[in-house]
Amino acid sequence: MLKKLVYSRRAILGEGSHGTVYTAEEQDTGRVVALKVSRVSLNVVRSPLRHEARVLQLLQGHRAIPALLGHTRRPHFEYMAIELLGPSLRQTVKRGRALPLETVARVGEQMLSALEHLASHHIVHRDLKPDNILLCPVDPARVVLVDFSIAHHLPAVLAKAASGTDTTSPLVFPTGTTQFCSISAHVGTAPFPQDDLESLAYVLLFLYMGDLPWHVENPWHAEPEVYMQSVSNAYTTKQALVNYALPITIPLEIAHILDSAAQRELNGLYLSTVARLRSQCRDLAYSLGERDIDRDSLNWSPVLPPASLPPPGVRSDSGYASGFNVFGQSNHPPDALGCTYNDREPVNEYFTDSYYETLYETWSIAYGRRLSLTLPPDVAEFLDGQLPDIADIKAFLPPLKT
């Protein structure tokens, strides 16, 4: 339990549409933590941070999961404290540069281990991206997966899908980040563990190439039609990638992850598949000269990306100027999953904390979070009893420096 946390309202680590993360200090010990603060009434039964805290409590004990240090609710705010971590992979990858392949392999190995752990607890992260993988300041060999705001409990997902409710709208199951979400997430399909696997493949491709073969515009800064076209381009280019219709060369280990993600059957083979993919990443790291991937510092030195992406002149701020045709038309059907992309649907994306503003309209004031994002009552009650408490919190606003 944390006793008294004190934080400055100017010490902001990050913020999004559903909360702000501050650095905070435990007054008695001087321990510094990351404190996530969300404005929410006590009338809200299913509050956002309680769900995330429960999921984190369920997943405690794995090195790729942040240590949960405390959670509490006050009349107007909810708080969650986790260990203080470093910059994200997004911040680490320099513009126009990539990361060494051995580093990509080690990140892949650790994240595959995390996905094994999530799947063993029936959790789907749903928003795996470079922004949500953080470096660890006290362990330079470790990276950590954060932001379980829209993590789904798989049994609840299956119950929703079996209920007969239309689940094809992106507003039924939050999509995550369009740049890195799976093809199935684009069309609102219920989230499976394989969606996390596909997103991880895109993350590793981003680290290896320093970019992705698609780009999604920020909807706040682009015209609506430009934004929607960029989302559509991302969708079709991902299809081209998984169908081997892009003229780019990627490491075999990433290709294997993409191939495995396409197998969406829910059976006992998923965990063994992820274990095999993890072993392949370990072998790749060792073959490239790594000695002890569990203890040696990760190498974040920028390198020139492979000459696999189209030159900058071919790319535009809204993705590929001519969309899918930059790479030639695929001979495969529009969607191997039997879905077609509807660009008239609302597409939720490009928010740093994984939330889409229109989701506010779908929430009941009294219940806050949709049932598809809620753990079973018995599991939730058990985890609530395990959550570490924050005894007291004090915020202050220091004067601006002149």
Contact 353, 18 (CB under 8 A): yes
Report pLDDT for 190: 84
Residues 147, 133: Cα–Cα separation, whole Å: 9
Closest CA to 14 of 109, 90, 99, 126: 90
Report pLDDT for 317: 33
365 exposure class (CB count in 10 Å sphere: 0-12, 13-18, 19+)? exposed
Closest CA to 234 of 347, 396, 366: 347
Contact 341, 335 (CB under 8 A): yes
Residues 84, 368: Cα–Cα separation, whole Å: 28
| Side-chain half-sphere CA neighbours of 43 within 13 A | 4
Per the document, the length of the chain is 402
Residues 314, 394: Cα–Cα separation, whole Å: 52
Domains of the chain from N-terminus onward = 2-84+370-396 (3.30.200.20), 89-326 (1.10.510.10)
Question: Which long-range contacts does 86-89 make (Cβ < 8 Å, 24+ apart)?
Answer: 86/134, 86/135, 86/136, 86/137, 87/134, 87/135, 88/130, 88/131, 88/132, 88/133, 88/134, 88/135, 89/130, 89/131, 89/133, 89/134, 89/135, 89/143, 89/203, 89/207
Report pLDDT for 173: 62
Contact 248, 202 (CB under 8 A): no
Residues 318, 234: Cα–Cα separation, whole Å: 10
Secondary structure class of 369 (helix, strand, coil):
coil
Q: How confident is the prediction along the chain (402 residues), in pLDDT tens digits per residue?
A: 788 899 888 899 987 656 899 999 998 899 999 999 998 877 777 787 899 999 999 999 999 999 999 999 998 899 999 999 999 999 999 988 999 999 999 999 999 999 999 999 999 999 999 999 999 999 999 999 999 988 999 988 888 777 766 555 544 565 788 999 999 998 888 889 999 999 999 999 999 999 999 999 988 888 989 989 999 999 999 999 999 888 888 999 999 999 999 988 777 789 999 999 999 999 999 999 999 999 999 999 999 998 755 443 333 332 222 222 222 223 333 333 333 333 333 333 333 333 333 333 333 333 455 666 678 889 999 999 999 999 999 998 888 776
Contact 126, 195 (CB under 8 A): yes
Q: Is the pTM of this model over 0.75?
A: yes
Asked if residue 129 belongs to a known ligand binding site, the reply is no
Closest CA to 170 of 193, 148, 190, 149: 190
Report pLDDT for 61: 97
DSSP character at residue 72:
E
Report pLDDT for 161: 74
The pair of structure tokens assigned to 288 is 């490239």
Report pLDDT for 370: 62
The pair of structure tokens assigned to 153 is 């409990």
The helix (H) or strand (E) run that includes residue 258 is helix 252-261
